Structure 1
Amino acid sequence: MNFFMPARLYTGEHCFEKHGDILQGLGRKCTVITGRHAAKESGALKEVSETLASRNTDYSIFDGISQNPTVASCMEAGTSARAFGAEFLIGIGGGSALDAAKAAAVFAANPRLKEDGFYRKEWENPPLPIVLVGTTAGTGSEVTKVSVLTDSKGRKHSIHDDRLYAYASFGDSRYTMSLSLPITLTTGVDVLAHCTESYFSRKADSLSRSFAIQGICLLYEPLSAAAEGKPLSPQQREQLYEASIFGGLAINTTGTCFPHNVGYYLTENYGIPHGFASAAFLPDFLKLVVKDDRDYADSFFREIGFGEDAILSLTGKCLPKNSIAMTEAEILTALPRWENNGSVQNTRSAVTTEMIRKILIQKYQKS
C-alpha cells in the first residue's frame, strides 16, 4: 500500500462553526474563493462568514469561479487574494470552486507565475494554506491533491501535487440539501465513476479498493432514489456526501481511468456536465474490464453486493438523453489526445485509441 492524505477532515452539522478554532493559526486575513450562487444558496457562505467574524478574521470574497474553472480565473482569484493581503484561502462550493481555490493559492503566493509555469510546477513559493468547504457530493476534492482546470486553449487538465492538499476540509451535508436534481445526479454518477475506475486501476491496492467499495455501498441506495425523482432525506444526503469522500480517497491513491479523460472531451466540446460526461463511458469501461478479468470483476461485484446489470441500470437512469452527434473526421482529429495518456494507460485492461475510436463511433457518430 502507498497512502498519504494529510488534510484534516471534519464532517457533520455545523462542523465549520464547531471546529473553526483550527484556523486561528493561519492568520487574520483570508479570501473566500467561490462561485456566484451555490455558496450563498446552500447557506455555507453565511456560516463561514459568521464564523470568521466571530473569530476576528477579516475576509474578502472572490466569486468569479464558474463550472470547469479556467486557469485565468484562478490567476485572477490569486491576484485578488494577494491584493487583499490574504494569509490563507477558503474555497466554498463543489469541485470547481475547491479545485480553483487550490490553484488560486499557488498564484497568490507566486505573483510572476503564468499558466505554463503553473502546470510545470515552477512555483518559487509554496501555496497559501487552503481550507475547503464542500457543498456538493461529487469530486471528493476535499481529500485530494488534485486540481482540474481548463487551460487557455479550452482543454481540461489535472495537476497533482502534495502542496495542493487542504490544511483542513469541512463537509456539512446540510449544504447539499439545496442541490437540484440534475446536479445531484451528475455529482452522484461522478462518485460512481470514481469508485469503479479506482477499483479497476492498475494502481489499486487493498486500501484504495476498500475506499471504492465503501463509496459505492453508501452511494447506491440514495442515488437510486434520486434517479427515480424521489426527494432525498438528510440521512440520504449524508450518505451521498460520505460516498464522495470515499471516492476522493480512492482516486487520490489510484487516479482515474479512461472514462474520465475521454469524458473531458464531451465537457469541453459539448458542455456536458463533468459527472455525466465521465459516466457516459462507464458501461464501456465495465464491459472491457469484466471481459479481461472475470474473476477480479466478480470479486468487485461480490463486495458491493450487486452485479454489472445493476450498475448499468443505475447509470442509465441518471444520464440525460444523448444529444451529441460527431462526424468521423471530428473523432479522428480528437484521437491523438489519448495517445500515451496517463488516465487511459491507468486502466487495468489495455486501452488503445482504436478502441476509443470505436466507442465514440458507436455512441455518437452521425448516421
Structure 2
Amino acid sequence: MWRYYMPTKVFFGLDSVKQNWEIFSSLGKNALIVTGKRSSKENGSLDDLKATLQKANVNFVVFDDVEENPSFRTVRKIVEIYVDGNYDFVIGLGGGSPLDTAKAVAVLLKNKKLKVEDLYDPSKYTDALPICAIPTTAGTGSEVTQYSVLTDDNGFKRGFSSDVAFPKVAFIDPKYTLMMNEGLTRSTGLDALCHAVEGYLSRRATPISDVIALQAIELIAQYLPKVLQNPNDFEAREKMCLASCLAGVVIAQTSTTLAHALGYPLSTFKDIRHGDATAAFLDVVVDQARNEVPEKVEKIESILGKMDEFLKNVGLNVSVEISDEELEIWVQKAISAKHVQWTRGNFDAKLVRELYERVRKY
C-alpha cells in the first residue's frame, strides 16, 4: 500500500508573488514574516512581499534574524517576541532555514502552551497557523514538505514531521535565485539532487514519487552544470527551481535517507553547507542500493553517469577536520538515525566510519 498527499497550492513563475496578491488577503489580515538577515533584502524578495501585502491590506511584522541551520534558541526567541500578537498566518521567506523556522513558529503560535521540544511529538498538536512559503534558493524544497529541521541545544540537527507543517501556499519566483553565488548555487542544487535520488531509492518510494524523482534528476543533470557556468542563465535558474520543487514533493512522500543523517554534523559542527555535506555521501547511497534495486541505479546512471564523477564535475569537494571523539559520536548518531530504515543496503558502523574518514582532513 502507498499514499500520495500534497496539500500545498503552488504558484510558479516570474512575479508570482506580486501577481497573486489576493491569495494573501484570503489568509488573513495580520502576517508574521520570518526571514534571514540579508539575502531577502538583497534579492528583492522582501520588498516585493511588503508591497504585495500592502496592496492586499495585510498588516505585517518582520523577524529578520534567522541563521543558517536554525536553532531551538531562535525559534524560542521568535515565539517569545510574538506570542501575544494576533497573527493569522506566518510567511517563511528565504532558503530552507527561514522556511523551516516559519513552520516551527506557526505550530507554536497556534499551540501556545507547547515548547519547541514538543514539536517532535505530533500527538501534542493537530493544527498550526497557515504557512506561506516563498523560497529564494533552489534546493531545499521545503515549500512543499511537512518537514522542519532545527538544531537542538546540543548542536545536533533534528527534524520533525507533521502534516500541519505543510505550507498552505508556496510562491516560487526564479528571479530571486539570480543573486546566489556559485557555492550556494552548487550546494542547493546538490541538495535537490540528494532529495530526488534518495527519494527514488528509498524503501518508501511510490510509483508517483518515482516519476517525479526522475524528472527532477533529469532537470538537475542538464541545468545544474549550465547554471554553474552561467549564473545569469534565467532558464537554467527556472529549471533548477522546478527541480527543487519536484524533489521536495518526492521527499514529502518518501522521506530522506542516510545521506542526510551523515551530512548533518558536517553542517552543524563544521560549517559545511547542507547540500554539500549530504552530497558527499550520495555516491555510496547509490552504490549500496545496487544490490536491491539494480534497475533503479542503472536508470540514475543513464541520466547522470557515475554519481561520483557527476559530483566531481560540478565541483563538490568536502574535507574537514574530525577528531576521534567526534568521529565515534557521529558514527553512533548515524547508525541509530531513523533514516536507516528507509535506506537500501547495509550501513553498519564500519562503513559509516569509513565514509567519515573519506571526508576527514589529515
Shorter-chain TM-score category? Answer: over 0.9
Name the residue aligned to 1:245.
245
Does 2:146 correspond to 1:145? Answer: yes
Name the residue aligned to 2:284.
284
Deviation at 1:41, TM superposition (A): 1.1
Name the residue aligned to 1:314.
310
1:319 and 1:256, CA in 2 relative to 1: closer, same or farther beyond 3 A?
Answer: farther
Pick the aligned partner of 2:335 from 339, 348, 366.
Answer: 339
Name the residue aligned to 1:349.
345
Deviation at 1:352, TM superposition (A): 1.7
Name the residue aligned to 2:53.
52
Deviation at 1:123, TM superposition (A): 4.1
Superposition pairs for residues 94-133 of structure 1, below 5 Å?
Answer: 94-121=95-122, 123=124, 126-133=127-134
Q: Which amino acid aligns with 2:240?
A: L
Deviates more, 1:257-266 or 1:311-320: 311-320
**Structure 1, unpaired ranges of 5+:** none
* SS in structure 2 of the partner of residue 169 of structure 1: strand
Deviation at 1:306, TM superposition (A): 4.1
Deviates more, 1:327-336 or 1:102-111: 327-336
Tell me, yes or no, if the aligned pair for 1:186 and 1:318 is still in contact at 8 Å: no
* SS in structure 2 of the partner of residue 62 of structure 1: strand
Distance 1:64 1:238 in 2: 27
Does 2:252 correspond to 1:256? Answer: no
**Structure 2, unpaired ranges of 5+:** none
Name the residue aligned to 1:269.
269
Q: Which amino acid aligns with 2:332?
A: P
Deviation at 1:14, TM superposition (A): 1.2
Distance 1:111 1:283 in 2: 43
Q: 1:234-266: CA deviations, max 9, x gaps?
A: 111000000000110111111111111100011
* SS in structure 1 of the partner of residue 204 of structure 2: coil
Deviation at 1:288, TM superposition (A): 1.9
* SS in structure 2 of the partner of residue 136 of structure 1: coil
Tell me, yes or no, if the aligned pair for 2:319 and 2:361 is still in contact at 8 Å: no
Deviation at 1:125, TM superposition (A): 6.6
Deviation at 1:27, TM superposition (A): 1.6
Does 2:33 correspond to 1:32? Answer: yes
Tell me, yes or no, if the aligned pair for 1:143 and 1:252 is still in contact at 8 Å: yes
Name the residue aligned to 2:354.
358
* SS in structure 1 of the partner of residue 62 of structure 2: strand
Deviates more, 1:320-329 or 1:231-240: 320-329
Name the residue aligned to 2:94.
93
Normalising by structure 1, we get a TM-score of 0.93
Does 2:237 correspond to 1:234? Answer: no
Deviation at 1:293, TM superposition (A): 4.0
Q: 1:256-286: CA deviations, max 9, x gaps?
A: 1111110001112211110000001112222
Q: Which amino acid aligns with 1:340?
A: S
Normalising by structure 2, we get a TM-score of 0.94
Distance 2:117 2:340 in 1: 23
1:257 and 1:120, CA in 2 relative to 1: closer, same or farther beyond 3 A?
Answer: same
Tell me, yes or no, if the aligned pair for 2:24 and 2:53 is still in contact at 8 Å: no
Q: Which amino acid aligns with 1:45?
A: L
Distance 2:240 2:78 in 1: 30
1:306 and 1:36, CA in 2 relative to 1: closer, same or farther beyond 3 A?
Answer: closer
Tell me, yes or no, if the aligned pair for 2:189 and 2:220 is still in contact at 8 Å: yes
Deviates more, 1:288-297 or 1:29-38: 288-297
Q: Which amino acid aligns with 2:262?
A: V
- Identity of counterpart residues, as a percentage? 30
Q: Which amino acid aligns with 1:364?
A: R
Deviation at 1:153, TM superposition (A): 1.1
Distance 2:16 2:155 in 1: 37
Deviates more, 1:189-198 or 1:68-77: 68-77
Deviates more, 1:176-185 or 1:237-246: 176-185
Distance 2:297 2:318 in 1: 28
Superposition pairs for residues 185-196 of structure 1, below 5 Å?
Answer: 185-196=186-197
Deviation at 1:195, TM superposition (A): 0.8
Tell me, yes or no, if the aligned pair for 1:136 and 1:179 is still in contact at 8 Å: yes
Deviation at 1:225, TM superposition (A): 2.3
Distance 2:325 2:64 in 1: 39
Deviation at 1:180, TM superposition (A): 1.1
1:126 and 1:306, CA in 2 relative to 1: closer, same or farther beyond 3 A?
Answer: closer
Deviation at 1:301, TM superposition (A): 3.3
Tell me, yes or no, if the aligned pair for 1:69 and 1:150 is still in contact at 8 Å: yes
Tell me, yes or no, if the aligned pair for 2:263 and 2:280 is still in contact at 8 Å: yes
Name the residue aligned to 1:16.
17
Distance 2:318 2:119 in 1: 35
Tell me, yes or no, if the aligned pair for 2:227 and 2:233 is still in contact at 8 Å: no
Superposition pairs for residues 177-188 of structure 1, below 5 Å?
Answer: 177-188=178-189
Distance 1:318 1:298 in 2: 21
Tell me, yes or no, if the aligned pair for 2:25 and 2:57 is still in contact at 8 Å: no
* SS in structure 2 of the partner of residue 131 of structure 1: strand
Distance 1:126 1:190 in 2: 29
Distance 1:315 1:279 in 2: 8
Distance 1:139 1:58 in 2: 28
Distance 1:307 1:332 in 2: 33
Deviation at 1:36, TM superposition (A): 1.1
Superposition pairs for residues 47-86 of structure 1, below 5 Å?
Answer: 47-86=48-87
> How many residues get paired?
361
1:160 and 1:175, CA in 2 relative to 1: closer, same or farther beyond 3 A?
Answer: same
